[in-house]
Amino acid sequence: MDNVNNTSNNGEEDTELIISSLFTDMVTEVLLMHQQHLAKLNRGRVRRCREPKIANDRWGTDIPCHHGGFYTSTDRFNPGHLVTHKWENCFTIDKHSCGYIRTSGVNDYLTIQEILYQIITTVSTGGNVLINVGPTSYGKISPIYEERLRQMGSWLKVNGEAIYNSIPWKYQNDTINKNVWYTSSNDKQFIYACAPISSSNTSITLLGSDVGSLSWRSAGTSGGIVIELSNIKICSLASNWAWVFKLQNVTPKQTNEK
């Protein structure tokens, strides 16, 4: 202890060594606890819990996307393709922080279009969305967060059936228009925003529109549908930013898989 209190250079070096040693021991202990917790998960000890659990397995080399009922990788994790194991995309509306930054400008926040892109692509590829907003030190949500949440709510009010209780379809992304993503109703009776094989009984509607069934024609023997939209006025739609087509009595194109 005398060496720690010494004001000489050697004392400062000793202090740094002791602090470094304490920090290393602490990290080692926490890592050991983390490994023991993961071992319990692997042995199925959490199966006695009635509610499903999410294991945050982001800490450690080769650890993410290996444990728990939901895979939780890095923030903004969005692989862009179907993942058969349930996974989660955790992202913040602020592009740079989970907390509130009073100096942030409007360009530091995701637009509603960017938020909906994350929601649609995540759900289409089998993922769950966790969206973060950072309150102020007074526990209040700033107006720009409120605006984004209200915009998201208004879109989901119209198009929520393509998101809630949906499952991935056989195809996730359109091969011609990369901005078109597909989901399916849980009972597989409806397909949303897809380009499948049509039949004489195929029915197509646009969620949020009062036009009713839309006219369409087959895109050819290769599959796909061309939808007639000339009689829809954009100003009359109940939702902006991203539109959802609801298709009934369609089948995915069959491919020769080896």
Query: Model confidence over 67-117: pLDDT tens digits?
Result: 667 777 777 888 888 888 888 888 999 999 889 988 999 999 999 999 999
CA distance 227 to 250: 14
- 10 Å CB burial of residue 115 (0-12, 13-18, 19+) is buried
| pTM (predicted TM-score) | 0.68
CA distance 118 to 108: 16
CA distance 93 to 118: 11
Query: Model confidence over 220-254: pLDDT tens digits?
Result: 666 677 888 888 888 878 887 888 888 888 776 65
Domain boundaries, the chain: 2-48, 71-162
N-term to C-term CA, the chain:
71
Tokens of 219: 């895109």
CA distance 99 to 75: 14
Which pLDDT belongs to residue 2?
A: 41
CA distance 158 to 209: 9
Query: Model confidence over 129-143: pLDDT tens digits?
Result: 999 999 998 999 999
